[in-house]
Structure 1
């Protein structure tokens, strides 16, 4: 048996020891060390990345969930920092929910993961802070350190004592961003703010007037003056936080 075949047999046993036999030339005592080491590392990273989600399960249920991820999902990144993102991909694609899984499982997991995502995001070097006086004249961009999000469930309130069974009457909007001190901040927003930011994100480099014109097509119940006034107040607050920026043209 070649080296690659031995490696594949070794990893197959590590991931699914109940199904795949261990390599013949490795004693079980040593193999057990590897089995525990690999799984415990993955379990530790997943648990630290999703502390709220973990509290919603018994220890046995949680270990089953992580074991399924460990056994069934082929991660696309070799880096430990990417394990949480791979776990999100698994839940949203491969995982079949069980009766005891909360209906908001994927949303609370994503809400927890996005903190890590923003904390390690690389800032675009062309971005620069936007002065309030320049909002109406500069090209507008969403910072690379920002995520504009909405959830069906009130994920910010979920805990062992609050586990909603139905979505909220209205979406729950959030902006997650990294501030000047490199701390991750969560800011609850509303539908209009979410719309403004989504337009800026989708049409990077748009001017204030162009953004307002797009908002008008989505909210015809307001006139152009009302939209411009509201957008200026909102975008001024977002510029102060570094949520919207402009870019150097060099």
Structure 2
């Protein structure tokens, strides 16, 4: 057997023990490799998705991760990349099983987003805006924040709370504060609209934001809308979510 064939057979058997092992290697040695590789992936995925893991029995969780290990072609061995690959697998390739929660993909994305922000490096140094600068500055959301929406209250999901059907859309602002802690804010649809407008048009001024939001809220005057926007933006500035356009020119991922 040529080296490349041997290598392919080795990898295929490590990923799926049902595949024949390479000839000439005793099963005792192969078992060590099988256990080592799978346990590494299992540990990475379990660490990245602790809430999701808690909703499964140990046997069912290992079965889920095993299917991922067998079916998905990971392009990187790094912890963060394996977590992202697992999310992609759930979103694109996984066939929902009876024991899988209906909110599987949404909860997995929420947990991945927390990990993503906890480890992300901003494109450049960001300087939060002071409250008095909001009215006169170009505005941008921090590169260490994300706007999310799910038809489940994913922040409340636990062993004791598992919704069985989708409901009203929940809007979230995830961000990493100056203590490098990832926090979330549950926001309403109007606040989400404000942040989404800013996300899509980084560098907008307050007056430009108000102008873009006005058609969505015709019942409010421009003055009322501006006053409400200032109060929200001041709160986000205090959290470090709002930065100057010069400090962060990249939009959210």
Give the TM bin, normalised by the shorter chain: over 0.9
Counterpart residue number, 2:12: 12
SS in 2 for 1:136: helix
CA contact (8 A) 1:126 1:248 kept: no
Preserved CA contact (<8 Å) 2:176 2:182 = yes
Q: CA deviation at 1:126?
A: 5.2
**Cα distance in structure 2, aligned partners of 1:124 and 1:130:** 17
- Residue 196 of structure 2 aligns with which residue? 198
Alpha-carbon distance, 1:91 to partner? 0.4
Kindly report which structure 2 residues correspond to 1:116-127, keeping only aligned pairs within 5 A, or say none: 116-125=115-124, 127=126
Find the residue that maps to 1:135 and give its secondary structure: helix
Uncovered stretches (5+) of structure 1, i.e. residues with no partner: none
2:114 touches 2:174 (CA, 8 Å); kept in 1? yes
Counterpart CA distance in 2 for 1:239 and 1:71 is 45
Question: Conserved in 2, the CA contact under 8 Å of 1:128 and 1:248?
Answer: no
Post-superposition Cα deviations, 1:28-62, rounded to whole Å, max 9, x if no partner, equal 00000000000001011111111111121112211
Which stretch shifts more, 22-31 or 222-231? 222-231
Per the normalisation by structure 1, the TM-score is 0.94
Q: Which residue number corresponds to residue 236 of structure 1?
A: 234
Equivalences, count:
248
Mapped partners of 2:9, 2:83: distance in 1: 26
Task: State the alpha-carbon separation in 2 of the partners of residues 167 and 213 from structure 1.
Answer: 34
1:238 positional shift: 0.3
Per-residue CA deviations over 1:167-221 (Å, capped at 9, x if unaligned) read 23x3111111111111111221111111111111111111111111111122223
Q: Report the TM-score when normalising by structure 2.
A: 0.93
Matched residue, 1:212: 210
Are the aligned partners of 1:128 and 1:247 in contact in 2 as well (CA < 8 Å)? Answer: no
* Larger displacement relative to structure 2 (226-235 or 75-84): 75-84
Residue aligning to 1:91: 90
Q: How is 1:51-90 mapped onto 2 (pairs within 5 angstroms)? A: 51-90=50-89
SS in 2 for 1:128: coil
> What is the alpha-carbon distance in structure 2 between the residues aligned to residue 136 and residue 124 of structure 1?
25
SS in 1 for 2:135: coil
Deviation beyond 4 Å, 4+ runs, structure 1:
none
Segment of structure 1 superposing worse, 4-13 or 25-34? 4-13
Contact 2:202–2:245 (8 Å) recurs in 1? no
* 1:39-50 equivalent positions in 2, closer than 5 A: 39-50=38-49
